[in-house]
Structure 1
Amino acid sequence: MKPHHVLRPLSLVFTFSLAFSASAAINTAAIVSATLSPQCLEYKVVGICYWLFCTNFGCKVRTSTKVRHYIPDAVVSAYSNTGLNPWSEVAGMGSPTSTAQAGGDGTTNHVAENNMAKFKEADVIGHPGGYVFSQFASSSGYTCKGATTAYVPYLLSTLDPIAWRYGIPESVYPEALTPGRREVGSTQSGDLWGNVYPRSGFLHQSDDYKTGAVIAQRAGDVTTRSGQVHVYLPMLAQAQDGYWPAGELIESDASTGKWQELTPTLSQTCAVFPNSGPQIQAQDGGYAWALWRPYSCCKRRGQIFLGSVDFQ
């Protein structure tokens, strides 16, 4: 079903509220400041790397410390209408196109109805806090580089209308047709937020916050893989000697990535969905999270990498 609501003007107000709903707009300065989170960084020394260092006088083995930490690779936004990305400075990237007009939910029935089809656009854009984060992280020791470039759009759902608005072809994938497969939360725990497939903008969910979270998970799922049937750029770095980049994002698995809420509330901690913290409903249906992903690396100390050993 194609969204049909009329596009609303973009709000540039940056506010927070302790009520059950809040304005969703956030600016770059606030996003950058949110990178100063030790809990999200989770810096650890995890092993030792071995290098063969040779000169004209012979060769010897040198060692360096192997570290692991998380990096805020991207800002992932999920919002109800085209052009209304809550990250105000980049909202124009998701403007309406000839094939992606406006937005809104797929039904006008009561909001508490369990079968409501809610719709969100999604943008995945390179995190702007690279310099500030690097200065912050380097205080812990040697740091790794991430896979993204600031402000680069890795996915704009308005440019991916066939997959995002109609679920083609993923609506017939086994992941979309098999109950209990690739889901955020679970029916066993009584906290099922939604299915990852099909990775489109529609979700049968009455809770707007949970809808935004599942849509963000879908967008992160697409952009952390190569060869997907979507219009996007993969957020993947090449492994090198002494460098182990983040891989595919898997729902509810913090070892593959975790989320820091940026709006409607600005959090200083990271979690995976479903999270147990405050779930504030955005008045304008706009949500944004920073996606932090794990990287491991060690300083090069020779011409040939001999391998590494991880601590148990």
Structure 2
Amino acid sequence: MMLSNRVRAGVAGFMLCCASSAAALDTATIAASALSPDCLEYRVVGICYWLRCGTFGCSVRTSVKIRHYVPDAVVSSYSNTGENPWVEVRLMSIANPTALSGGDGTTGEPHENNLQKFKNADVIGHPASVAFSGFAGSFGYTCEGAGKPLIPYFLSTLDTVAWRYNLPEAVYPEALIPGRREIGSRTSMSLWGAVYPRGGFQHQADDHKGAAVIAQRAGDVVTRRGQPHVYQPLLANPRDGYWSAGALVEGDASTGKWQELTPTLKNTCAVFPNTNTRVQARKGDFAWALWRPYSCCQRRGQVFLGSMNFD
């Protein structure tokens, strides 16, 4: 078992290295990036109990409860409208009469951190469903994620009022009270930015950190229902023997984690803020895969009786 896991990890690492040599972020590169044991984090976490009834009576059967992460979506955070770094989906978010332009009013110099910067954001279903199913299936039984390949869950060019004018979230308590819903910590000197208001403007001299904050905001919106934005919820309904991922919370890996796709393709996942080496994108275009945790067990009867977690 240990040997087979090492072989799988080696193959995945080799494919990721090959993918990282691609000149542009395309669908094939993104699909290959999903073969990451570190991001998958496959674990057996408990036991499920089922009541199975037949001609000769009923019996209780069990199945293993597992948990792993699924790459639900690709979240792009980029400066120039219509220039999503994922080349095949750029036409989904072209400029329109209410969202014509983008870009920054700064060159990114440290002394210009008092200037406001803007980024668009797109949340699109991860394209690696087939490749990921085969990869995750080699570990055992697998859970289905909420994301559907190439489905747009959020396009900031269609969310003009909320994304470009911060309405109505500019007056939310989370946006007005320091310390509420922030990515990082003021006391540890690692504050990257605030989640609210969940729009495209912010003050951040480090473009990589700023792009990560924008990605977190977009992920925050799509993993909740009833938000004042134009979007489609990236959520699955729970059912017997299936526990879906909930709302994304900044800094909490148990709600989701990020895999950098560009400007540097990584084969590991982390939450924001992190200490990973940050490479700045020349055109201000960044993208991450959003991995979210799901738990499930194989159905072994007609009635689900419950489950027990080992921890």
Within the alignment, does 1:197 sit opposite 2:196 as a pair? yes
* Greater than 4 Å deviation, 4+ residue runs: 106-111
The Cα of 1:110 is off from its aligned counterpart by 5.1
CA contact (8 A) 2:72 2:146 kept: yes
Mean alpha-carbon deviation: is it higher for 272-281 or for 285-294? 272-281
Q: Structure 2-normalised TM-score?
A: 0.92
Gaps of 5+ in 2: 1-18
- Give the aligned partner of residue 248 of structure 1: 247
Map 1:266-305 → 2, pairs under 5 A: 266-305=265-304
Q: Which amino acid aligns with 1:86?
A: P
Deviations 1:210-240 (A, max 9, x none): 0100000000000000000000000010000
Q: Which amino acid aligns with 1:94?
A: S
Change (3 A) 1:16 1:243: closer
Within the alignment, does 1:207 sit opposite 2:206 as a pair? yes
Q: Which amino acid aligns with 2:243?
A: W
The Cα of 1:305 is off from its aligned counterpart by 0.2
Structure 1: distance between partners of 2:145 and 2:186: 35
- Give the aligned partner of residue 32 of structure 2: 33
SS at match of 2:205: coil
Change (3 A) 1:110 1:70: closer
CA contact (8 A) 1:69 1:295 kept: yes
The Cα of 1:102 is off from its aligned counterpart by 1.4
Structure 2: distance between partners of 1:109 and 1:276: 20
SS at match of 1:112: helix
The Cα of 1:25 is off from its aligned counterpart by 3.7
Change (3 A) 1:109 1:209: closer
Structure 2: distance between partners of 1:286 and 1:112: 22
- Give the aligned partner of residue 155 of structure 2: 156
The Cα of 1:107 is off from its aligned counterpart by 5.3
- Give the aligned partner of residue 61 of structure 2: 62
Deviations 1:100-119 (A, max 9, x none): 01101245795532212111
- Give the aligned partner of residue 44 of structure 1: 43
Structure 1: distance between partners of 2:237 and 2:191: 34
CA contact (8 A) 2:109 2:205 kept: no
Structure 2: distance between partners of 1:265 and 1:109: 19
- Give the aligned partner of residue 171 of structure 2: 172
Structure 1: distance between partners of 2:66 and 2:109: 51
Within the alignment, does 1:232 sit opposite 2:246 as a pair? no
Deviations 1:119-165 (A, max 9, x none): 10000000000110000001111000010110000000000000000
Q: Which amino acid aligns with 2:35?
A: L
Mean alpha-carbon deviation: is it higher for 73-82 or for 102-111? 102-111
SS at match of 1:219: helix
Gaps of 5+ in 1: 1-14, 18-22
Change (3 A) 1:115 1:153: same
- Give the aligned partner of residue 220 of structure 1: 219
Equivalenced residues, count: 293
Deviations 1:230-274 (A, max 9, x none): 000000100000000000000010000000000000000000001
Q: Which amino acid aligns with 2:44?
A: V
The Cα of 1:278 is off from its aligned counterpart by 1.2
SS at match of 1:282: coil
Map 1:83-98 → 2, pairs under 5 A: 83-98=82-97
Change (3 A) 1:48 1:108: closer
Q: Which amino acid aligns with 1:115?
A: N
Higher helix proportion? 2
**Percent identity of the aligned residues?**
67
The Cα of 1:186 is off from its aligned counterpart by 1.0
The Cα of 1:281 is off from its aligned counterpart by 0.4
Q: Which amino acid aligns with 2:274?
A: N
Structure 1: distance between partners of 2:71 and 2:199: 24
